Structure 1
Amino acid sequence: MDTTVHETDGRPRIVLGVSGGIAAYKACELLRRFTESGHDVRVVPTASALQFVGAPTWSALSGNPVSAEVWESVHEVPHVRIGQAADLVVVAPATADMLAKAAHGLADDLLTNTLLTARCPVVFAPAMHTEMWEHPATQENVATLRRRGAVVVEPAVGRLTGVDTGKGRFPDPVEIYELCRRVLTRGPAPADLAGRHVVISAGGTREPLDPVRFLGNRSSGKQGYALARTAAARGARVTLVSANAALPDPAGVDVVRVGTAVELREAVVAAARDADAVVMSAAVADFRPAVYAEGKIKKKDGQEPEPVALVRNPDVLAEISAGRARPGQVVVGFAAETHDVVANGRAKLKRKGCDLLVVNQVGENLTFGSEENEALVLGADGSETPVPRGPKEDLADTVWDLVAGRLAP
């Protein structure tokens, strides 16, 4: 079998390592995402992975030869060349055995040799039973890999093999692809959030009026999810507090779902206790109905409706800023303004007491629900960082650049 490392005509070169877990079949979808978006992909499975998905499948989907052995085409030195030529190595799924081998530098097949020779970013997408993921040995191996700069995404929670359910499920292949795309965009830059825990709020809260109505806003949660996805790609452990966002869970992110401002406050305060940074991008309702009607409020002929009395919701951003759970915690707020954007932003930055405030203008077809954003990031130190209109991931990376520069060693 030919294992020659081929020229790629300038296309990004991906090594997709596949280790021997039942989730190996899901890596076919990840492979398809890479090839359809113009990447040159070399699949390097382990011998046990080939028990789940055969070499002809990987070869047909990638358009490249497939081998798991270091003894084939030895004159081409594939165990060295494949890793040297890669722009990204992603191991998906990564079993507990593979994480252990990678952490300890073992090299007993083509994939583990490739990991030792790669000088590009490396991403591991673990999949295993909950007990295996939570075992101290696995957690120490994960910590070792992250400390060395690898991105090890958190597995998802859900149905596992057989009747078991828990943390250890292979993340959505589409979301793994999106994370890898962000890693590729950053190139060889170090995973500067590795070892950090960040908390992000996203979406818009809904304040119930009666069993069928609520007061809400237009926030889609896309900016918060972009912040979560980019933070994970930069190596962080991410907790995403999601308020009514109809979006898929980003790969490697722990998602906590909430509905109201009070629920969001409880979730953020709890998650922030050990967080290095808190980014409040959710659109949190300032007010809620003073009285919740247990039954649907009926329309009465000839009568105007009763006025709806409102009470203030907790100011979560101000609370987090004033009572930081640990020294050096960086707090970022968002200001959605409809007019006098900069003036209102400066006033809010001072009032809330946060380190950074992302100020943008909102309205019909502006920011809410859009795939793009533009903003001015104001710093408590007097700095101003304009971000031109572009994908929300670009704004997210700018925010994390500014946060990373403010984190304590």
Structure 2
Amino acid sequence: MTSPKPRVVLGVSAGIAAYKVCELLRSLTESGHDVTVVPTPDALRFVGEPTWAALSGNPVSAQVWDGVADVPHVRLGQEADLVFVAPATADLLARAAHGLADDLLTNTLLTARCPVVFAPAMHTEMWQHLATRENVATLRARGAVVIEPASGRLTGRDTGPGRLPDPAELFEVARHVLARGADGRDLAGRHVVVSAGGTREPLDPVRFIGNRSSGLQGYALARTAVARGARVTLVSANVALPDPAGVEVVRVGSAVEMREAVLSAAAGADAVVMAAAVADFRPVDYRESKIKKADGAEPDPIRLVKNPDILAELGDIRRPDQVIVGFAAETDDVLANGRAKLARKRSDLLVVNQVGEDLAFGRPDNAAIILGADGSRTDVPRGAKEALAESVWDLVAARLDRRPAG
């Protein structure tokens, strides 16, 4: 007997970004979800009922009076596995926070006992208004996942935070929240910092010393943390990946820039996960113009100096209530080198994985041993990098549970 399709209620409120949600709807239906679209009445001014019905394959209604015999204002919320509202306007967030029920969508939100996700989209001034921030805080305190909006071009000539995240990234949030279920928000109220990618140490305007890190593992950590309810700051070095939905992305280039960004963000964070591949050394000298190749002459040696050890510094300045996680990419003596690094860096956890030509860097899969300062060991078999990310957050959440929220 096959299991039923996951049931998703896709709420749509009256924002210009409603047209982007058609792509999210298609991703949900094509990946095997049974989606019922519930727009607010004014949302139908932006995208009409026939479009939602055609893409979802289900009837669409915005009113509690349609199909009264089936009691849709109660049944939809009761039967859903996930309610996902995109875009969530300032008005919709206010009505949801205050428990109003003046249309089918807000009725559904009141009856839902499944995970609820809001993807806000509005002008910057509305997002930053104290009333909206308090409404968001209220919804989060009640257990909803409210995704931070992206920054970028808004309606007209306005630019700033308030943009609906990319639909493909919203789909990833929906997928992760569904996978974890109603009890999956164990990082709610927590601020976590994740570093990702590989730093580059410039030699001249066109050359640098770098590494092969793609940032895939760090970005998987960021995405899964959002789905678990965390506020996430992602310090990203030289990564060609789309911004994860709901994540504050701080872009850096070199190890020195990463140190500054990580230490700044870590000051108020509950957990810091250093998944980036940070260069151990940088050139002593930077040439202002391109280094030329001289005929018949060997190039001058490149003199190197040590970069700051960000993970060790985090271990030195950590608060007692803070969890620090490091990564160790090793090519040989993986376990012995990992244990030595864990003791040296004073981290709570160290994720040790073997790297090489066809291992870890740039690949969608990973395997690791997670060592704990308490002597614990967790073996994570080869699988999707998201699976390793979930294992890391499981261990972080367990340690945070024993410490007060910041």
TM superposition score category, shorter chain reference:
over 0.9
Match of 2:216 in 1: 222
Matched, 1:149 2:143: yes
Matched, 1:369 2:362: yes
Matched, 1:264 2:258: yes
Query: What secondary structure does 1:223 align onto?
Result: helix
Residue among 294, 319, 329 paired with 2:288: 294
Distance 1:63 1:103 in 2: 30
Matched, 1:346 2:342: no
Distance 2:13 2:349 in 1: 42
Pairs aligned (count): 401
Query: What secondary structure does 1:242 align onto?
Result: strand
Query: What secondary structure does 1:274 align onto?
Result: coil
Identical aligned pairs, as a percentage? Answer: 76
Structure 1, unpaired ranges of 5+? 1-7
Distance 1:310 1:199 in 2: 29
Match of 2:380 in 1: 387
**CA deviations over 1:76-130 (Å, ceiling 9, x no partner):** 0000111111111100000011111111111111000111111111110000011
**Paired residue type of 2:295:** D
Distance 2:76 2:39 in 1: 13
**Paired residue type of 2:194:** I
Matched, 1:93 2:87: yes
Distance 1:398 1:148 in 2: 25
Distance 2:50 2:274 in 1: 48
Match of 2:171 in 1: 177
Residue among 370, 391, 400 paired with 1:398: 391
Distance 2:334 2:82 in 1: 40
Structure 1 76/9 Cα, relative in aligned 2: closer, same or farther at 3 Å?
farther
- Aligned pairs for 1:8-407 (under 5 A) are 10-324=4-318, 326-407=319-400
**CA deviations over 1:189-220 (Å, ceiling 9, x no partner):** 24111111100000000000111110000000
Deviation at 1:287, TM superposition (A): 0.1
Distance 2:135 2:82 in 1: 21
Distance 1:137 1:190 in 2: 28
Distance 1:207 1:156 in 2: 29
Indicate if the aligned counterparts of 2:177 and 2:184 stay in contact, CA closer than 8 A. Answer: no
**Paired residue type of 1:284:** V
Match of 1:3 in 2: none
Q: What TM-score, normalized by structure 1, do the two folds share?
A: 0.97
Distance 2:94 2:110 in 1: 13
Match of 1:5 in 2: none
Distance 2:246 2:67 in 1: 37
Distance 2:232 2:119 in 1: 15
**Paired residue type of 1:280:** M
Query: What secondary structure does 2:41 align onto?
Result: coil
**CA deviations over 1:209-242 (Å, ceiling 9, x no partner):** 1111100000000000000000000111100000
Query: What secondary structure does 1:405 align onto?
Result: helix
**Paired residue type of 1:205:** T
Distance 2:160 2:289 in 1: 37
Distance 1:9 1:348 in 2: 45
Indicate if the aligned counterparts of 1:42 and 1:62 stay in contact, CA closer than 8 A. Answer: yes
**CA deviations over 1:269-322 (Å, ceiling 9, x no partner):** 111111000000000000000100111111111111111000000000000111
Distance 2:134 2:184 in 1: 21
**Paired residue type of 1:359:** V
Deviation at 1:9, TM superposition (A): 6.5
After TM superposition, which residue ranges in structure 1, 4 or more long, deviate above 4 angstroms?
none
Indicate if the aligned counterparts of 1:149 and 1:190 stay in contact, CA closer than 8 A. Answer: no
Deviation at 1:327, TM superposition (A): 3.4
**Paired residue type of 1:242:** S
Distance 1:126 1:86 in 2: 21
Indicate if the aligned counterparts of 2:18 and 2:47 stay in contact, CA closer than 8 A. Answer: yes
**Paired residue type of 2:57:** G
**CA deviations over 1:57-81 (Å, ceiling 9, x no partner):** 0000000000000011111000011
**CA deviations over 1:332-379 (Å, ceiling 9, x no partner):** 000000000000000000000110000000001100001011100000
**Paired residue type of 2:291:** I
Distance 2:191 2:284 in 1: 36
Query: What secondary structure does 1:406 align onto?
Result: helix
Distance 1:208 1:197 in 2: 32
Structure 2, unpaired ranges of 5+? none
Distance 2:105 2:39 in 1: 7
**CA deviations over 1:362-402 (Å, ceiling 9, x no partner):** 00110000101110000000000110111111110111111
